[in-house]
Chains A and B, each alone.
Chain A
Amino acid sequence: QKEVEQNSGPLSVPEGAIASLNCTYSDRGSQSFFWYRQYSGKSPELIMFIYSNGDKEDGRFTAQLNKASQYVSLLIRDSQPSDSATYLCAVKLKTSYDKVIFGPGTSLSVIP
């Protein structure tokens, strides 16, 4: 089992819809979870981080964490064409001090 898994996509949603991106992780003791956005040819950009079970909202973005299910998700409300990018889920492993592991990313396309 890979340490961090994501649906590879591509995920296509119409403009204005909610995009839902999912991620599962294998290290049950992991404490810190991150979502990065990466435009083609660019470096990853931090969108949100979440440490506690439940939801964390920041503007149009909501991160959801369920440690019992080892599941973290990112919801993007009112999706815009500028949201079209690859979204990377990252997990800081408890078993390795400060080592952050990334998933393969999910490609999102927002159709005008």
Chain B
Amino acid sequence: DAGVTQSPTHLIKTRGQQVTLRCSPKSGHDTVSWYQQALGQGPQFIFQYYEEEERQRGNFPDRFSGHQFPNYSSELNVNALLLGDSALYLCASSRNTGPLHFGNGTRLTVT
């Protein structure tokens, strides 16, 4: 039973560029949440997708956008990258009221 998978594992981008991160949820899960985790901090909620719609959004600018596909997989897009966007990006999936299960994350470095 595959868990949550994320790609790529590492990414280096230049300021101003755009990036797309991908996530496949755990089998049987239909909800995908994205988090940003800066070094030494807890994960910060970006947004959540359910039934291909953004259901909840955290305090992140519109440069952060996402999408969920019919197979429940999801993408996180970040435009006009800033140095401060350097972080570990975590995807978590869940079903109904169950707990979040995390993927291994994507380490994004913006230079």
Are A and B a genuine interacting pair, yes or no?
yes
- Partner-B contacts on A (CB < 8 A): 4, 32, 34, 36, 42-46, 49, 88, 90, 92, 96-105
- Would A43 and B90 count as touching, CB distance under 8 A? yes
| Known contacts A98-B55, A98-B56, A99-B56; A43/B42 CB under 8 A | no
- Would A101 and B105 count as touching, CB distance under 8 A? no
CB distance from B91 to the nearest CB of A (A): 9
Complex CA gap A97/B42 in Å reads 20
**A34: contacting residue among B31, B35, B90, B99, CB under 8 A:** B99
CB closest residue in chain B, given A101: B45
Given contacts A43-B102, A46-B100, A98-B55, 5 further A-B contacts (CB under 8 A): A43-B105, A97-B55, A97-B56, A102-B43, A104-B42
| Sample of 19 A–B contacts (CB below 8 Å) | A4-B42, A32-B99, A43-B90, A43-B103, A43-B105, A44-B43, A44-B102, A46-B99, A46-B101, A88-B43, A92-B97, A96-B56, A98-B31, A98-B48, A100-B33, A100-B92, A102-B43, A103-B42, A104-B42
